[in-house]
A and B are shown apart, each in its own frame.
Chain A
Amino acid sequence: MRVLMPVTVADARMATPRVRVLTLRHARRDRLPPFQGGAHTLLTLPDGTKRAYSIASDPAREEAWDIAVLREGHGSSILHELPVGSRLYATHPQAGFGAAAGAARHVMVAGGIGLTPFLSMLPPLIRAGADATLHLCAREEGSAPLVAETRVLLGERLVTWFGDARRRLDLAALLAGHEPGTHAYCCGPQRMLEAFRAATAHWPDEAIHTETFLGLAPERATSGEAFSVRLARSGVTLDVPANRSLLDVLREAGVAPEASCEGGACGTCTVPVLAGRVVHRDLCLSGPKRARMMTTCVSRGEGELILDL
């Protein structure tokens, strides 16, 4: 469901010097749609930029959602400067990341702003008496947002790993053994996700859950080796030079898919691939999907690709 809701920035506060928490309400109704903890929404900003944000508040609070925005680039700067009262568009909640139903135990690992999806996943789990522990990593205590709130929620089940306290989480040790019924979750920067995947390589696939909105940096996302694409429906061939993304070239040709994060993280701009060798650089497509699709904002080709466009 990608219908857009008009929402109003009802409140805003700085949670850390670089993280602004925005409270969003529906512009016309007194309730937002229900969602499962861990869901995200795609926001359309006043200039048309689209960005995905985890809903970082208790799903039981129906009248408003919180999102926490780390200032790191174009979209987040707009959200940092937006006055209270501004209008945005938000999609209905998009599922993807969330607590596994029926799990006996939840081990959660968050890096910095990666805490946000857990803030909507945890309240229902806590109310249900679930066994959930959250490991929160950050460079320093002051750079991690919403730590106090999370501590209120979790008490001793929040374990902090702050670099300035010389504490470093050993993921391999934490996740060394897998017991049936235990599920592990990670949301954080790419390096942490890679370490998490390596540490859970021996776990069953269905017991590991990852989320990221932090894709490739813009300059890396839009460059690489030159290649070309043939559009099967029109027969047109387009060249993608080394300094441009496929998405950019498709936009110029007027055949671009919708796009959001433009860093290979959200999966909005995927297109079907009929033939050719794709260089996948996204963080969102699973193995089976990679056999037939590609993410146009970051992924490239070797030689010529044939797209079902």
Chain B
Amino acid sequence: MPLIFDGELLSIHIAEAASVEMETLAEANLIAGVGIEGDRYATAKGTYSNKPHADRQVTLIDEETLTALKRDHGIDLSPEETRRNLVVRDVPLNNLVGREFRVGSVRLYGGRLNVPCKYLDDLLGKPLFGPLTNRSGLNCRIIEGGTIRPGDRIVPA
């Protein structure tokens, strides 16, 4: 059965190097097979760049998770603090493993679910590991590159 959804890109974030706070962009250039222009995983300056993996080219997390963290655990996590690149709404991220989908003009492949890391707890001083388990977002490959902007539609490819 085809997966039907119609979501929205809310914000775009990159970090110039590991542990450096994220910058919010009005638009971003996604390079197929590489990453987001200027992001630490496109320039091999990320925390996990010593273990390169195609699925780290771009990472997504949904706004619903941030709302749930506040509701269920009283934790404020801003979009920039997630250290994911794209914050989205109305996209079934956990169902997109092994599937292709579009963000605006760009085509992504859902490689694997993101696994939370204690590193983020230390970096932010917030207890996120448990609360983010099973809803930590999606790690993706860039199949077709292009420019994306907040407000772009996210739909099955």
Contact = CB atoms under 8 A, between A and B. Distances in A.
Scoring B19, B21, B124 by chain A CB atoms within 10 A of each residue's CB, the highest score goes to B21
B16 interface: yes
Chain A's interface size range is: under 10
B124 A3 contact: yes
Contacts, number: 26
A5 B21 CA distance: 6
B130 interface: no
B20 interface: yes
B117 to A, nearest CB: 14
A172 interface: no
A3 B21 CA distance: 6
A138 to B, nearest CB: 36
A1 B20 contact: no
A64 B17 CA distance: 22
Nearest to B20: A4
A89 interface: yes
Nearest to B124: A1
Chain B's interface size range is: 10 to 19
Contacts of A28: 23
A2 B123 contact: yes
B16 A1 contact: no
Interface in B64-102: 81
Scoring B19, B81, B125 by chain A CB atoms within 10 A of each residue's CB, the highest score goes to B19
Nearest to B120: A3
B21 A2 contact: no
Contacts of A1: 123-125
A282 B123 CA distance: 24
A54 to B, nearest CB: 20
Contacts of B21: 3-6
Interface in A1-47: 1-6, 28
B123 A6 contact: no
Contacts of A6: 16, 20-21
Interface string B119-148: 000111100000000000000000000000
B19 A4 contact: yes
B19 to A, nearest CB: 5
A89 B19 CA distance: 10
Contact of A2 (B16, B17, B122): B122
A4 B81 CA distance: 12
Nearest to A1: B125
Contacts of B124: 1, 3
Scoring A2, A3, A6, A89 by chain B CB atoms within 10 A of each residue's CB, the highest score goes to A3
B38 to A, nearest CB: 12
A6 B15 CA distance: 10
A3 B122 CA distance: 9
A28 B122 CA distance: 24
A133 B14 CA distance: 46
A3 B125 CA distance: 9
B22 to A, nearest CB: 9
A181 B20 CA distance: 41
Interface of A: 1-6, 28, 89
24 contacts: A1-B123, A1-B125, A2-B19, A2-B122, A2-B123, A2-B125, A3-B19, A3-B20, A3-B21, A3-B81, A3-B123, A3-B124, A4-B17, A4-B19, A4-B20, A4-B21, A5-B20, A5-B21, A6-B20, A6-B21, A28-B23, A89-B17, A89-B19, A89-B20
Q: Which 8 A-B pairs have the closest CB atoms?
A: A4-B20, A1-B125, A4-B19, A3-B21, A2-B123, A3-B123, A5-B21, A1-B124
Given A3-B21, A5-B20, A5-B21, 4 more contacts: A3-B19, A3-B20, A4-B21, A89-B20
